[in-house]
Each structure stands twice: as C-alpha cells, then as structure tokens.
A = this chain, B = another copy of it.
Amino acid sequence: MSKATIKQVAAEADVSTATVSRVLNDNGYVSPEVKERVFAAIAKLNYQPSAIARSLKQDKTFMIGVIAPDISNPYFMGISRGIEDVVGPEGFQLLFCSSDEAPEKETRLLQLLHEKRVDAIVLATSGGSAAAIDALIGNGQRIVLIDRRLEAGGETPALDLVAEDNASCAYDLTRALLDDGHVRIGIVNGLTRVSTGRERLEGVLRALKERGVEDKLLLYSGDFSTEGGMRAVRRFLREKERPTAIVSLNNRMSHGVLLELVRGGLRIPGDMAVASFGEVEAGQLLKEPRLYYVDQAPYEMGLRAGEILLRRIRGENGAHEPANEIFRHEIKQMH
C-alpha cells in the first residue's frame, strides 16, 4: 500500500489540508468534533507521523518568480541564467514577469506571484512597492533583491541584496573620459527613482566635481531606454557648445546613443567619445568601437542570488542576517 498523502487525510476527514495541518501542529482553533475526524482519518490511513511532518514541511511549489523591469534586456537575462543554473538542478523553475518600470504593475505582479505561492521572488524593483513588499514579508514570502535597492525608508525590512557598486563604477567610468582630456561631457541619466539611477549619477557628479568641471555637464534623462539614449544624442548635438564625450548609464541607453551617433555620421571616438555603464554587444559592429564600459557580471550576480535563494528556501540562514553582496567591476575599453 502506497503512503497516504495529507490530501488523502483531508479528503477522508472532509476538511481542508490547512485544517489537517492545524490539528497536527496544534496551531489555531479547530473544533473537537473536527479534530476527532482528522485523527480518525490518520488512523484509518495508517499515516506515519514522520511522513506527515515531512510533507507539511515540504510545502513547496518549486517555482521562483523573477520580476525585472525589462526581461528582454541581456543584463537581466544574464542574471536569470545565473539563477537558473543554481536552482534548476534542485528542481526549481523560474517564472519571469516584466514590470516595464511601472511601480503599480510591479505591485500587482508581487501580489500575483505571492498568491501563486512561489517559493521565493527575485525582484529588480522599479520602486513604489515598499508597502506591498512589507505586507508580503509579513506573510512569510521570501524576497531577494537583485541589482536595485528599495527606496530608503524607515519601515522597509532588510532584505537579501545582490547589487553593484554603482557609484564607484560610474566614478571610474567618468574618470576614464576626464583622463583623456574631456571637459564638456553629456550624461545620459537613468531613472532617479531607481537606486541604480541615483547611485550612478552620484558617482559621475563626484568625478566631475573633483576635476572642477561640474558646471560643464549636460544632463539628459534617458529613462533606461534605447529611445531615451537616441533622444539624448539629438539633444546634445543641438547644443551650441557640443560635448566631446557622452557617459550613458545603462546598456539600453548606450545602444541608443551608438545608433543615433552612427545615423548622424559621427565617428566614435573621433567625433564623440562614449562611455557606457554596461557592455553593448552591438558596439562590436562599429568600425572602431573604442568605447569605455563597465564590465558587468550579471551571470555571476545571478549565481550568488541563486545560492542565497536556496539557503533561504532551505531555511539555512539561521538568524536571518540578510545577505549584502556588492559587485565592483573594472572599466574596460572595447577594441
């Protein structure tokens, strides 16, 4: 005779599995009459107490939700692949959701994944969902932050985080241009309600201030999108005093910057030097692609996030000290 499941016990007793669980754990009110039915069912099905305990403990769906602002961005796909290479062999599947940088959509997706009882959520937040996250954490949902911090705010629970040292990398990137003699620099900025946007801008400004050229900067908000990068270039080229270099603060915007410079017939870096936070694969199609870039490591970040996820799901983290893994990358030049 095969071993009975908690479902069979519940069916036999004509109660929900939650009620069986409450009876077994002596946790929450259950009427004496119902308790008796549950114990009768356990006896009838010859249920092993240890098997019951295990099946109750193994309350897993083996799904991990991943919410990213743009799941088609190779950066987030690299992260996802790293996560999957760690959790996949343990039987977990990833479900991806795109928040499109829309905080209200992110909140809906968090709720949805929680309702579907995913074992954990990996979140690259677009901001605005701190309250929802608080509530989910309160309900026992595991959440690991990737790439982006929650907004600073007293109530926010300390969560596991795998991110980059954005300010330092952006500082180094800007320094590369300054060291080449550039003074007038156009900055294609991300979304400053997002931590990566804020921190990267902070690093750029620090480098410019150190050299005393912060009054020469041109700032354009590119919203982390390819189109934003294209608009920024058009805007910079209309300036009376054109910049000689551009710092673009994510890979999508950098792609747009390159597209628009090439369309405008400008040589890179002859007519305009470019420095990108993150690699742009397509840049290799340029004739002379001497871009500076922050050499990100999304796959390795994903591996770390995957390990943290597994530890959390297995409950190995003891005192629940949140992980805080910050990657610092080198500046490289394409050639």
In the assembled complex, the CB of A146 is this many whole angstroms from the nearest CB of chain B, namely 16
By a CB distance below 8 angstroms, the chain B residues around A285 are: 258-259, 262, 282-283, 285-286
Q: Which of B10, B72, B112 contacts A72 (CB 8 A)?
A: B72
Q: Does A16 contact B (CB under 8 A)?
A: yes
In the bound complex, residues from chain B placing their C-beta under 8 Å from that of A94 are: 97-98
Q: A287 within 8 Å of B by Cβ?
A: yes
Q: Distance in Å from the Cβ of A291 to the closest Cβ of chain B?
A: 11
Contacts of A52 in B (CB 8 A): none
Is A141 part of the binding interface, using a Cβ–Cβ cutoff of 8 Å? Answer: no
Q: Interface size for chain A: under 10, 10 to 19, 20 to 34, or 35 or more residues?
A: 35 or more
B interface footprint on A189-227 (CB within 8 Å = 1, 0 otherwise): 000000000000000000000000000000000000000
The answer to whether A97 touches B97, judged by C-beta atoms less than 8 angstroms apart, is no
Q: Which of B10, B95, B97, B282 contacts A281 (CB 8 A)?
A: B282
Within A283-316, the residues touching B (CB, 8 Å) are 283-287
CB distance from A94 to the nearest CB of B (A): 7
Extra contacts, 11 of them, besides A72-B72, A96-B96 (Cβ < 8 A), are A10-B16, A14-B15, A14-B19, A16-B19, A61-B116, A71-B77, A93-B109, A116-B116, A255-B281, A263-B284, A282-B285
